Structure 1
Amino acid sequence: MSTLPDTLETLAVDRPAEHVARVSLIARAMSPTFFAELPRVMAALDADPDTRAIVITGADGRFSYGLDLQAAAGSLGGVLGDPSAKNREWFLRHVRELQGSITSVADCRTPTVAAIQGWCVGGGVDLVTACDVRLASADALFSVREVRMAMVADIGSLQRLVGIVGDGHLRELALTGDDVPAADAERMNLVNRTYATEDELQGAALELAGRMAANSPLVTRGIKDVLDAERAPRVEAGLRYVAAWNAAFLPSADLQEAFTAFAEKRPPRFE
């Protein structure tokens, strides 16, 4: 049986109810450490027979600000400076590793509930779309923001959102990068329900997880297996394609301009 890591820098795990574990994102953004810790935590909880449902939530009034752009700039610097086949192949492997981290949530056999408060941006949307059910507080804001950074979102949103919100809503989210408030997210089925306060959200998430945990673990895992029989191969094919597309085309003058504008705190000027 897998065991939880002795120390965690970006995540916190507690057990607020019988058979329910809660994973809290304590880091504001998704760093390389986060992507390394997430699959280890999910594997440990999935292997624990006492864990029958998992709530994934944020901290300090937000869910996640998405990818740590400073760390991303460091990892992309080599490809931007030298877009050789060697560096592009490294970047392809790097994207696949990030994808695998988020997919560890989608592949978890234990039911997962995302409890989303405040900002849920970029990689945060990737993460919540990998969960089985999404609930939000009224102050939640969602954004598939990669387009505004001259990137094609490549760790799961484009592949999983289509089965959640439908093609039209997905294209609007991905092509604009707009900020979507919780009420609109509920109307497009991005979240199942919204709650007035964060306390109400957390209570509802734990109550829902408890109802899942009260059922036969064999059957809940079987339901997930059956539901994923069609979705998982489709998502995997899309993830492979976008990783290859970004490895080929992401290094660009527009991407360099996006990171320069971010550092200089000004709007980018794309050409």
Structure 2
Amino acid sequence: MADSYESLAVDIDGHIAQVTLLGPGKGNAMGPAFWAELPVAFEALDADPQVRAIVLTGSGRHFSYGLDLAASGDTLAPMMAEGALAGPRAAFHRHLKTMQHSITAVADCRTPTIAAVHGWCIGGGVDLISAVDIRYASADAKFSVREVKLAIVADVGSLARLPLILNDGHLRELALTGKDIDAARAEKIGLVNDVYADAEATLAAARATAEEIAANPPLTVQGIKDVLDEQRTAQVAASLRYVAAWNSAFLPSKDLSEGIAAMFQKRPPEFKGE
């Protein structure tokens, strides 16, 4: 059984579903279609009693470059206007809450989720894998909580969920520097469970683990997830609410314009704290 969207492909084989990121932006960048379709796909899988485990991966050479900034200009532009008042800020807040809901749909899925990451996993890609249960990586995988380099406080899930995954010092190093780390480092700090030789081996390992999970009693598996998730739900929800309000107030800046311009012009940014 297969179901296709613009930004995702969903294939179901027996009790295992595979969700593959398709883009359409370069490097499976997350544009409007992704944010609209991700919760629809995961809520449908969650409601399917035949699906007992979900594998999440990326098409092509990379998992995801993260937010498709080129496709998101219409959302940011009103906020960046000089003296933007309550109207555009409230609209941005609503839009941001919708994006947060998209990632939360993955975290709230009662069906266990396993990410198989290869190539780049940047920004929104890290938001996404922070919402799954188990993470595997190929040896060529690279990770970056890169929002700080664009003068953005990561606001879709990384800063809410990574504190439950990583040591505090490791998380702060990633978030405050925006540095890139390789798969070996990601494994060492606990961002991923295991590293495999290549994308094919990583996906095979994820599917093998999915099969192991699917062989267990499904209601008991859901119960384990429910009990584990109960310990974090309120903390994550509070963090997401706070960062949505924070960015709606403080995101617009000259540094944000500079960070985005520098990225597209492929030059070092010159931040001035304005």
TM range (shorter): over 0.9
| 2:42 paired with 1:46 | no
2:218 alignment partner in structure 1: 217
- Paired amino acid for 2:212: R
SS at match of 2:143: strand
**Which amino acid is the alignment partner of residue 121 of structure 2?**
C
Quote how far apart the aligned CAs of 1:175 are.
0.3
Flag structure 2 segments of 5+ consecutive residues without an equivalent. none
List aligned pairs for 1:139-218, cutoff 5 A: 139-218=140-219
Cα distance, 1:262 vs structure 2 = 2.4
Can you list the C-alpha shifts for 1:17-55, whole angstroms capped at 9, x where unaligned? 430000000112000110000000001111111100000
Q: Which residue identity does 1:8 align to in structure 2? A: Y
Match status 1:18 vs 2:9: no
Which residue does the alignment assign to 2:74?
74
Contact 2:119 2:140 in 1 (8 A): yes
Contact 2:4 2:10 in 1 (8 A): no
Letter in 2 for 1:47: A
Alpha-carbon displacement from aligned partner over 1:198-225 (angstroms, at most 9, x marks no partner): 1111110000000011111101111111
Deviations 1:60-108 (A, max 9, x none): 1210000001122331011101521111111111111000000000000
What TM-score do the two structures reach when normalised by structure 2? Answer: 0.95
Q: CA deviation at 1:7?
A: 4.6
Percentage of matched positions with identical amino acids: 57
CA drift of 1:263 comes to: 2.9
Output the amino acid matched with 1:188.
I
Distance in 2, matches of 1:7 and 1:113, equals 20
CA RMSD of aligned residues (A): 1.3
Q: Would the aligned equivalents of 1:73 and 1:259 in 2 still touch at CA under 8 Å?
A: no
253-262 or 176-185, which deviates more? 253-262
Separation in 1 of the partners of 2:44 and 2:264? 38
Equivalent residue pairs, number: 267
Aligned to 2:111: 110
State the alpha-carbon separation in 2 of the partners of residues 124 and 231 from structure 1: 21
Q: Report the residue type matching 1:189 in the other structure.
A: G
Query: How many Å separate the matches in 2 of 1:263 and 1:188?
Result: 31
- AA partner of residue 62 (structure 2): R
2-structure distance, mates of 1:210, 1:189: 23
The aligned amino acid for 2:10 is V
